[in-house]
Chain A
Amino acid sequence: MRVPHIVLIEDNPGDVMLVRLALEENGIPHTLTQYSSGADAVHTLCDAPADSTPVPDVILLDLNTPHMDGFDAVRKFNLSPQFSQVPLAILTSSRARSDKHRAELLGARFIEKPTQLDDFLSSVGNAVKEMLERVTATL
Chain B
Amino acid sequence: MIFAGASLGDGTVIEYCIDATARKQAEAAVESARRYAENIFETLHEPLLVLTSSLHVHAANRAFYEQFNVLPEESIGRVIYDLGNKQWEIPALRKLFEEILTHNSPFEDFEVEHVFESIGRRVMLLNARRLEDDGSILLGIRDITGRKRVEQELRTAEQNLRHSNDDLTHFSYALSHDMQEPLRMVVSFTQLLARDYHDKLDAKANEYMRQAVDGAMRMESLLTDLREYWSVSEQKVEALVPVDCNQVLERARTFLGSAIAESKATITHDPLPTVFLEEYPLTLLFQNLLSNAIKYRRPEALPRIHISAHRNGSAWRFSVDDQGIGMDARYLEQIFAPFKRLHGSKYAGTGLGLAMCKKIVERYHGRIWAESAPGKGTLIQFTLPAPGGKA
Contacts and interface: CB of A to CB of B under 8 A. Distances in A.
The judgment on whether A and B are partners is yes
Contacts of B163: none
Interface residues of B, number: 17
A18 B280 CA distance: 31
Interface centre among B188, B192, B220 (most CB of A within 10 A): B188
A21 B184 CA distance: 15
A94 B224 CA distance: 11
Contacts of B185: 12, 14-15
A117 interface: yes
Which 7 pairs of residues, A with B, have the shortest CB-CB distance? A117-B191, A14-B185, A117-B188, A115-B184, A115-B187, A93-B180, A115-B220
Contacts of B195: 117
A93 B183 CA distance: 11
Given A93-B181, A115-B217, A117-B195, A14 B224 contact: no
B181 A117 contact: no
Interface in B206-248: 217, 220, 224, 227
A97 B280 contact: yes
Contacts of A14: 185, 188-189
Interface of A: 12, 14-15, 18, 21, 93-95, 97, 113, 115-118, 120
25 contacts: A12-B181, A12-B185, A14-B185, A14-B188, A14-B189, A15-B185, A18-B188, A21-B192, A93-B180, A93-B181, A93-B184, A95-B224, A97-B280, A115-B180, A115-B183, A115-B184, A115-B217, A115-B220, A116-B187, A116-B188, A116-B217, A117-B187, A117-B188, A117-B191, A120-B188
Interface in B159-192: 177, 180-181, 183-185, 187-189, 191-192
Given A116-B191, A117-B191, 18 more contacts: A12-B181, A14-B185, A14-B188, A18-B188, A93-B180, A93-B184, A94-B177, A95-B224, A113-B184, A115-B180, A115-B187, A115-B188, A115-B217, A115-B220, A116-B187, A116-B217, A117-B195, A120-B188
